[in-house]
Chain A
Amino acid sequence: MTVKVRFFAVLKSLVGKSELSLDVEKGISFGQILGKLKVDFPALDKIMKEGKILVSVNQDVVGADYLLKDGDEIAFLPPFAGGSATH
């Protein structure tokens, strides 16, 4: 099955792409795929250790034991900075 992975803002330049498609075996958990992505992208592993990156699946927060389904979308979200420049 295939899952889509998206990277936003600063993560795009760190990883070198904005999205990718991954062919993974059925029954793989969110935690397992996170581990695989950290190996594939050491820069991602490094920044995630700082604890500021939120990772969503289908735009929601899920646990490491969530079993991915075909077509799921994983997104790596750095700290948000919306709003105005005037604090």
Chain B
Amino acid sequence: MTQEFIRIQTDDFSVENETIKLRDTSKRIGGIVTFLGTARDFSKGQEINKMDFEHYPGMAEKRLGEIRDQALKDYDIIEVTIIHRVGEIAVGENIVLIIVGAEHRQDAFRACSWCIDELKRITPIWKKETTPKGVVWVEEHP
């Protein structure tokens, strides 16, 4: 079941399909919070042409699974989906999706915020940005 809700993939994902899939896991879900991270065209004063995400296969999926497990333990929520894309991503495209379903919205908001912060902190995924001035690996801090 975890694999269904935790994925690292090159293909784009459907926010709608993933939301329905999570919603349909339980009739107790009364609130769903979604975080969708997308590729913007400007960063730190530089125009961005495209970005590439690289991950450590195995370890990255393991860390996303740990984040999901911890969120389910620490917050009063019902289900969590975490999907991160890797490979080349064009400006405007989807990068990362986190969906949290809970009985009530407050726990869903809190858990969703925690999940994206934790993802950035502990998941071995790296971003390379291509700008008109060249290519740079980004060290980003939440």
Contacts and interface: CB of A to CB of B under 8 A. Distances in A.
Contacts of B62: 59
Contact of B142 (A52, A83, A85): A83
B30 interface: no
Contacts of A80: 120-126
B95 A9 contact: no
Interface stretch (A22-30, A38-46, A62-70, A71-79): A71-79
Interface residues of A, number: 19
B75 to A, nearest CB: 19
Contact count band on B: 35 or more
- Interface residues of chain A: helix, strand, loop or mixed (majority): loop
Interface of B: 35-40, 43, 48, 51, 53-56, 58-60, 62, 84, 95-96, 116, 119-128, 137-140, 142
A37 interface: no
A1 interface: no
A56 B56 CA distance: 11
